[in-house]
Amino acid sequence: MDGESTEHFWCTDIKTEKGVITGEIGNDAEIVKTVRLGQRVTIKEADISDWLYFKKGKMVGNYTVRPLMKSMNKEELDLLKNQLGELPKD
């Protein structure tokens, strides 16, 4: 959060030490100006809105992208479907 502005970020290199979750900002900010790509930040568990990991080459999680599947072109949709471990039910 940056004043009144809020933006969602993907974080990488997630670590939990002594109950504190940290991660590195994994995408460029478009609204918020107080963080930058690669910056390590503290993350409140209540602020986590999505997550993903790969298992046997397939993506698990990433639920926020699923509603966007309806607006993707065929190439984007096929790529995502090949990566997802479980497809959403229509």
Q: Where are the domains of the chain?
A: 11-47, 52-83
Angle at 83 between CA 79 and CA 88, to 5 degrees: 95
Task: Assign 39 a pLDDT band (cuts: 50, 70, 90).
Answer: very high
Inform me whether the pLDDT recorded for 90 exceeds 70: no
pLDDT (0 to 100) of residue 88: 60
Task: Assign 4 a pLDDT band (cuts: 50, 70, 90).
Answer: confident
Q: How many residues does the chain have?
A: 90
- Beta strands 20-25; 40-43: pairing state: antiparallel
11-17 β-sheet, strand order: 11-17, 20-25, 40-43
> Is the overall model pTM greater than 0.85, yes or no?
no
Listed ranges 17-26, 62-71, 78-87; the one with the highest mean pLDDT: 17-26
Task: Assign 2 a pLDDT band (cuts: 50, 70, 90).
Answer: low
pLDDT (0 to 100) of residue 1: 56
